[in-house]
Amino acid sequence: MTDDTQQVSTARLLDRSDERVKHADTLGNTIRAFVDRVRSGDLGSLPVVVGLVVICTAFESLNPVFLAPNNLVNLLFDCSTVGVISLGIVCILMVGEIDLSVGSVSGFASALVGVLWVGQDWPVAVAIVTALMLGAAIGALYAFLFNRLGMPSFVSTLAGLLAWLGLQLYLLGSSGSINLPYGSPLVNFGQMLVMPPIVSYVLAAVASLVMFVTSYRTAARRRQAGLSASSLGRMVLKALLVTIVLEFVVYYLNLGRGIPWMFGLFVGLCVVMNYALTRTKWGRSMSAVGGNREAARRAGINVRRVYLSAFVLCSTLAAAGGVLAAARLASSSQQAGTGDVNLNAIAAAVIGGTSLFGGRGSAYSALLGVIVIQSIASGLTLLDLSSSLRYMITGAVLAIAVIVDSLARRSRLSHGRA
């Protein structure tokens, strides 16, 4: 009799035994599993949610403009520039390296676009592509220094920080800044262009629909293969919740100017990056190299090429962020990419849940983290605080984020969650 039951339920049993809590069927079990996970240091996006609630309550009580639709729309415009840079930082942190020069690279790219487009009368598209390609070349240089000469990325990118800043100042010459023409497509994109309301509603609906369909098909395949799968009810519930939240956000932002296309571009990049990191062999290799470089090498992964791809992506996205920043400010200036851009981009990735120690991270951490960082910046600007105070507060937030990351990592290690 026992033999019989074992035979029948072998596939299911192996998949599910000892794991009832994690593969929770009921809502209560799901919540309990979540609490367990957080306790063991697998925080996920919890710090971001808590942080955002605290930030919103604090700033809203100090200045009611903070949560006004138009302020949020402006916030999204600002998010997109640093966010794209932060997306590159996620890539480089995944393999356990760092790029400290993203600010300078973005400033250099913005200066280059100004010089080539306005100064030299190149077509704007060619100027942008040139900037992106030079960004890629900078990443390739770092990868060469790292792979072939064994130079720690910390040092090479610190050198790059100075070098590309110097190049930016040289390009801009004595004038110090180049104004980009108002009314040009690039500047419009950075300052004005928002989605028509109907497009934004449809996009939000399509997003949740795609999410539902993919999870439904995965569940069907898993069930066919005799593995456990989430129930239809849960998937419908989840999809409904996501739809409601997304559509509400879209509705609220449409009370103001609407959702910037630039933010749409940023979110699109996040989605693509998330797919690449989680659903492709390349993404697996990135996590593997970040988790255990030697193990990845022995598994036959070309570790050098993985590092090359990470460095190149990081610098290219930094350059793209620089172009967006130039569009946002309608100028290429000596200040572009200096100051807190570097640290904001890194802090955003870490706050969003990408580990500084490699092997753990998600493209969406750039999205979530940059919203937190920009909310703080926006709130402090609304309070009319001096930049001295803003730097100090942002610095403290970064420190707290890294402390949370370190503590969570220690807890994960002791709970066997790597």
Partner 1 sequence: MTTIPDVDQAQGGPREPVLSLRGISKHFGAVSALTNVDLDVHAGEVVALVGDNGAGKSTLVKILAGVHQPTSGTIAFGGEHVVLSDPSTALGLGIATVFQDLALCENLDVVANIFLGRELNPLRLDEVSMELRAWTLLNELSARIPSVREPVASLSGGQRQTVAIARSLLTEPKLILLDEPTAALGVAQTAEVLDLVERVRARGLGVIMISHNMEDVRAVADRIVVLRLGRNNGEFEPDVSNQDLVTAITGADENSVSRRANRRRAHQSPELGR
Q: Which is nearer to partner 1, 91 or 319 (CB)?
A: 91
Stretch that binds partner 1, among 232-240, 300-308, 323-331, 386-394 (CB under 8 A): 300-308
Shortest reach from residue 288's CB to partner 1, in Å: 5
Which residues, 6 or more positions from 124, have their beta carbon under 8 angstroms from its beta carbon? Answer: 113, 117, 184, 185, 186
Residue 118 and residue 330 in contact, taking contact as beta carbons nearer than 8 Å? no
**Helix, coil or strand: residue 140:** helix
| Beta-ladder partners of 332 | 178
Shortest reach from residue 325's CB to partner 1, in Å: 32
The contact pattern for partner 1, residues 308-347, with x = CB under 8 A and - = no contact, is ----------------------------------------
| List 27, 299, 392, 399, residue binding partner 1 (CB under 8 A) | 299
| List 123, 241, 298, 385, residue binding partner 1 (CB under 8 A) | 298
Q: Which is nearer to partner 1, 277 or 371 (CB)?
A: 277
Residue 397: both structure tokens together: 């937030």
Stretch that binds partner 1, among 74-82, 237-245, 370-378, 407-415 (CB under 8 A): 407-415
**Count of CB atoms situated within 10 Å of the CB of 317:** 32
Residue 289 and residue 296 in contact, taking contact as beta carbons nearer than 8 Å? yes
- Reported in sequence order, the residue ranges of 16-133 that DSSP labels E, i.e. its strands, are none
Q: Does 281 bind partner 1 (CB under 8 A)?
A: yes
| DSSP states along 174-214 | TT-EEEPPTTSHHHHHHHT-B--HHHHHHHHHHHHHHHHHH
The CA distance from 132 to 101, in Å, is 15
Shortest reach from residue 23's CB to partner 1, in Å: 8
The contact pattern for partner 1, residues 216-255, with x = CB under 8 A and - = no contact, is --x--xx--xxx----------------------------
Q: Does 363 bind partner 1 (CB under 8 A)?
A: no
Q: Which is nearer to partner 1, 32 or 222 (CB)?
A: 222
Interaxial angle between packed helices 124-147 and 153-172, expressed in degrees from 0 to 180 and rounded to the nearest 10: 150
Residue 250: both structure tokens together: 């879209």
Phi-psi group of 173: left, alpha or beta (phi > 0 → left; psi -120 to 50 → alpha; rest → beta) = left
Q: Which residue blocks in 95-152 are alpha helix, DSSP H?
A: 102-113, 124-147
| List 103, 190, 290, 322, residue binding partner 1 (CB under 8 A) | 290
Interface with partner 1 (CB under 8 A), residue total: 42
The contact pattern for partner 1, residues 189-218, with x = CB under 8 A and - = no contact, is -----------------------------x
Q: Which is nearer to partner 1, 252 or 298 (CB)?
A: 298
Return residues touching partner 1 (CB under 8 A): 10-11, 14-15, 17-19, 22, 218, 221-222, 225-227, 279-282, 284-285, 287-288, 290-292, 294-302, 359-360, 412-413, 415-418
